[in-house]
């Protein structure tokens, strides 16, 4: 099974992904985590990505598509996997469709996590206080939300047209949000291990 999380920064994609990979026994592919690991290691890719991330910009698509393509090639053919933070543009979604077609895999669900803007800002400012992420400053958060609206939110309609979209209310505690995701999976008739 392949599951994708879409949503604005701070909506809980990473938080819910960690729960869902345990539930589905899936591999977690988080592009944000991959980029932060490259920055931590001081690679050329990390240095380049950092200049975009620190300003709240998306990292160029060719970098992200190559990164995901490499990871997908490394996965066992029948692995359940969860994409967290990819795709973030229509171009990335189309590239993903091509990659999956070549692998003879298809997307089972796209979960769109919806959260109020005030709550998103509150969570990210809180995370800035706790973790000191350089892209969580108030100015950068505003920029990231603008970029989400302009470049990522069109994915909602893209996946709606493909009948893959499941809208999940992202308000409430992480456990409450996860209970909604679990319900959406089970009401669809899919058990965690079905539909490769
Ligand atoms: P990501 O790492 O994907 O970061 P995110 O969108 O900020 O976080 P997420 O929605 O996962 O929030 P989280 O669960 O952590 O991306 C970072 C950057 O990498 C991007 O801005 C971009 O520059 C670059 N990038 C990544 N992928 C890319 C791509 N495909 N193309 C181009 N560029 C790309 O939650 C946030 C906080 O809220 C946490 O502190 C959490 O504890 C808290 N929280 C979560 N759920 C909560 C709840 N229900 N109640 C209270 N708090 C909650």
Distance in Å, CA 152 to ligand 1 centroid: 13
- Give the C-alpha separation, 60 to 15, whole Å: 24
Inform me whether the pLDDT recorded for 194 exceeds 70.
no
Does the annotation count 88 as an active-site position?
Answer: yes
Which ligand 1 atom is at minimum distance from the Cα of 130?
Answer: 40
Domain that holds residue 13: 2-194
- Residue 189 pLDDT level (bands cut at 50, 70, 90): very low
CATH number at residue 13: 3.40.50.300
Residue by residue, what is the 3-state secondary structure of the chain? CEEEEECCCCCCHHHHHHHHHHHHCCEEEEHHHHHHHHHHHCCHHHHHHHHHHCCCCCCCHHHHHHHHHHHHHHCCCCCCEEEECCCCCHHHHHHHHHHHHHHCCCCCEEEEEECCHHHHHHHHHHHHHHHCCHHHCHHHHHHHHHHHHHHHCHHHHHHHHCCCEEEEECCCCHHHHHHHHHHHHHHCCCCCCCCC
- Residue 135 pLDDT level (bands cut at 50, 70, 90): confident
Distance in Å, CA 121 to ligand 1 centroid: 12
Look at the chain and report how many structural domains it folds into.
1
**Ligand 1 binding pocket, CB closer than 6 Å:** 7, 9-15, 31-32, 35, 52-53, 58-59, 64, 85-86, 88, 92, 123, 127, 135, 144, 172-174, 177
- Give the C-alpha separation, 30 to 108, whole Å: 18
Q: What percent of the chain has pLDDT over 90?
A: 88
Which ligand 1 atom is at minimum distance from the Cα of 86?
Answer: 30
112-116, 137-141, 187-191: the lowest-pLDDT one: 187-191
Does the annotation count 117 as an active-site position?
Answer: no
70-79, 150-159, 163-172: the lowest-pLDDT one: 70-79
Inform me whether the pLDDT recorded for 115 exceeds 80.
yes
Which ligand 1 atom is at minimum distance from the Cα of 87?
Answer: 30
Look at residue 14 in the predicted model and tell me its pLDDT: 96
Give me the catalytic one of 36, 71, 121, 127: 127
Distance in Å, CA 11 to ligand 1 centroid: 7
Average pLDDT, the chain: 93
């Amino acid at each position: 099974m392949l599951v994708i999380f879409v949503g604005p920064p701070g909506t809980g994609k990473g938080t819910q992904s960690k729960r869902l990979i345990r539930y589905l026994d899936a591999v977690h592919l988080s592009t944000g985590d991959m980029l932060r690991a490259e920055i931590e290691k001081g690679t050329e890719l990390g240095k380049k990505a950092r200049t975009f991330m620190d300003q709240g910009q998306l990292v160029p698509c060719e970098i992200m598509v190559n990164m995901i393509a490499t990871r997908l090639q490394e996965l066992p053919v029948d692995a359940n996997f969860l994409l967290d933070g990819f795709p973030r543009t229509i171009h990335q979604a189309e590239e993903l469709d091509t990659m999956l077609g070549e692998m003879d895999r298809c997307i089972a669900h796209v979960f769109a996590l919806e959260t109020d803007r005030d709550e998103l800002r509150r969570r990210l400012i809180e995370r800035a206080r706790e973790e000191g992420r350089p892209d969580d400053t108030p100015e950068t958060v505003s920029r990231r939300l603008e970029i989400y609206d302009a470049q990522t939110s069109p994915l909602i309609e893209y996946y709606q047209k493909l009948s893959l979209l499941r809208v999940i209310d992202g308000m409430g505690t992480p456990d409450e949000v996860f209970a909604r995701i679990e319900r959406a999976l089970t009401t669809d008739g899919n058990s965690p291990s079905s539909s490769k």
